A and B are shown apart, each in its own frame.
Chain A
Amino acid sequence: MKLHEYQGKELLRQFGVAVQDGKVAYTPDEVRDIAREYGQAVVVKAQVHVGGRGKAGGVKFSPTIEKAYENAEKILGMDIKGLTVGKVLVTKAVDIDAGVEYYVGMIVDRNVQSYTLMACAEGGMEIEELAAERPEAIIRHRVDPVTGLRPYEAREVAIKAGFKGNLNKIADMMVRMSNAALARDAVLVEINPLFIDADGTPLALDTKFEIDDNAMYRHKDLLDWRETAAEHPLEVEAAKYGFAYVKLDEGNVGVLGNGAGIVMTSLDVVNRAGAKPANFLDIGGGAKAEIVYNAVKLVSKDPDVKAIFINIFGGITRADEVAKGVIQALEEGILTKPVRMRIAGTAEDEAKALLAEVNSPLIQMYPDMFQAAEAAAKDANSAGQMNAGSNSA
């Protein structure tokens, strides 16, 4: 679960990290009130779950109360990469020129089977960009998941990274960040920029915080922070069914299968067949007719989907159960798009018999995944052309 900046800051504050003060506002009037209360220049920052807010104009320095109101009007309701800004964080502005900006962060790193702490003396930049351009500028250090980061390690990393300022205070902040990451099951936590003022004291100006979805059961106090508005409506619905579903951009073929690997490969096969997958949907193993029915219903709701490709390799999944689910969707009038499926495994013949009985051109079974994907791609692409034709007419 991705957290907003203000939420990440709140978690870090709970672990004793010094963070830049701020208040959340939903209207320009509230922003004006906060700016008046602070009585100094503020920064108005869009709170949305996407990177690159600054570049998109979602973060604005506001030297006066009037300017803060004006900026809030601009930012609230703004669209950043498809997400509408519904709230902003208003913080006291910091005189960046009076200090220096660094980067510290921790990520789950499968290569070291633990967290890797990253530190860099060039703050404010996106770490991905920096990693691509100047990887040598980033100091990396494996954090022991049992002990967490210890102060001497933090000092070592800070020295290697070339951090200037109060070494003990900076190391202490890094240790506290590590404590927060471990205690709150972070997948990623970043303090960027980490501002060091003229006295050498560190302050977290911005943060990214993402929590491991598998660990949410022990962070029930944070469940209120889950924002379905930021997710695709179909992803929200899929979550209710317990499906692993990802909406994909610019697709025209709905894809579903049993198992993450087979669905990933199905996306590749659709691409290869000259169409674009509109989603990733894993219905899991041993799926019964009802689950397939729900999956077909969900994918059918997607207006981007012009044809559906079902790819099942049955070990525990029965082909006739899959067929029953699809047929039910057809009979209830939910299924209006062609379904092209490949179901290998147990009870294939029973599935074929069921489909022969229904005898609908909308549902076809193929002997392998390539033929099924090609048929779905052809249907989807020709549907697209028909639409384009009618639009121009």
Chain B
Amino acid sequence: MSILVNVNSKVVVQGITGREGGNHARAMKAFGTQVVAGVTPGKGGQDFEGTPVYNSVAEAVEKQGANVSIIFVPPAGAADAVLEAAHASVPLIVLITEGVPTVDMMKAVQEVKGLNERNLQGGGAGIRLIGGNCPGLVSSGEAKVGIMPNSIYADKGRIGLISRSGTLTYEAGKLLQLAGLGTSTTVGIGGDPVIGTTFADVLPLFEADPDTDAIVVIGEIGGADEEAAAEYIAAHMNKPVVAFISGRSAPAGKRMGHAGAIIMGNVGTPESKLAAFAAAGVPVADTMPEIVELVRKALNK
């Protein structure tokens, strides 16, 4: 098994007729993901290389049984696309789009949380948003709902990976692959300040996954998600966790590419994150290759 996505996931691509949406729909199919539908309002009835396109997510759910949505809609309409999928009760919504206004994300995240609670109370599976500004997620050898390079995730491994960065996720995935450890599921949670799913939300899923032996958390400067993750690990995790923090030499007050990667006052500093992981007994790799060493060490304990 794996977490969140697997061979049975039926994916709808919101924005499939756009350049990004189209390219990545093709790459996901090549990976082996079941891409069952696309949505582009106004283009319902067309098809994208054999995949039917609908006017709404609700229609894609009804006609094709889609249970995962991946969103490539431009920033101005991205939050609305999230809400459309959430109101169509899609259990997993992955927002790839970068550059969504923060206020839009605040409103969308709050509404999705409300819908999730109502859905759970009604006996449903819940509704989860991952991202935005994220590379998506992939269960190696099973299904990719994201934009990462296919080759790194072809074969199933036993290490879970959670990351705020895109390229570093690929880099770490490649290192684990070369080391013969491989990844079970990789979750890119996104580099924006307000995101749907945090490290601490994903950790319990890996803890419960029988096919994951250890977890790698790739954090960066800004915010306090790493601190919250450390707290969760100390209190609830039995499986070993290894961490990495990027941007340790970044100056305060400057945004490092990601909207959320900024040290504000005394919040978001690498020192605070390192201290939190140390207190939780989580080893932190100083370099990317050291991640592999630390995972090996943790598994041999």
Contacts and interface: CB of A to CB of B under 8 A. Distances in A.
A142 to B, nearest CB: 10
A187 interface: yes
Contacts of A113: 105-106, 109-110, 194-195
Interface in A240-281: 244, 246, 248-249, 257-265, 267-272, 277, 280
Interface in B43-59: none
A321 B113 CA distance: 43
Contacts of B209: none
Contacts of B194: 108, 110, 113-114
A16 interface: no
A128 B76 CA distance: 33
Contact of A212 (B101, B148, B164, B251): B101
A259 B165 contact: yes
Contact of A261 (B75, B102, B246): B246
Given A110-B260, A113-B194, A345-B149, A268 B106 contact: no
Interface string A105-148: 00110110111000000000001100110000000000011100
B107 interface: yes
Interface string A48-86: 000000000000000000000000000000000000000
Contacts of B102: 108, 185, 187, 212, 214-215
B251 A248 contact: yes
Given A113-B194, A212-B102, A259-B168, A264 B76 contact: no
B22 interface: no
Contacts of A270: 249
Interface string B94-138: 000001111111110111000000000000000000000000000
B218 interface: yes
Contact of A264 (B193, B195, B247): B247
Contacts of A271: 248-249
A5 interface: no
Interface stretch (B32-40, B65-73, B221-229, B276-284): B221-229
B interface, over-half SS: loop
Given A111-B224, A113-B109, A261-B163, A315 B149 contact: yes
Nearest to A182: B103
Nearest to B152: A315
Interface string B216-253: 00101111110010000000000000000011111100
B259 interface: yes
A300 to B, nearest CB: 20
B42 interface: no
Given A132-B265, A267-B249, A268-B247, A110 B258 contact: no
10 contacts: A108-B102, A113-B110, A128-B265, A185-B102, A261-B164, A261-B191, A264-B256, A268-B248, A269-B287, A271-B248
Interface of B: 75-76, 99-107, 109-111, 147-149, 152, 163-171, 174, 191, 193-195, 218, 220-225, 228, 246-251, 254-261, 264-266, 286-288
By Cβ-Cβ distance, the 6 closest A-B pairs, closest first, are A261-B165, A260-B257, A259-B167, A315-B149, A128-B265, A215-B101
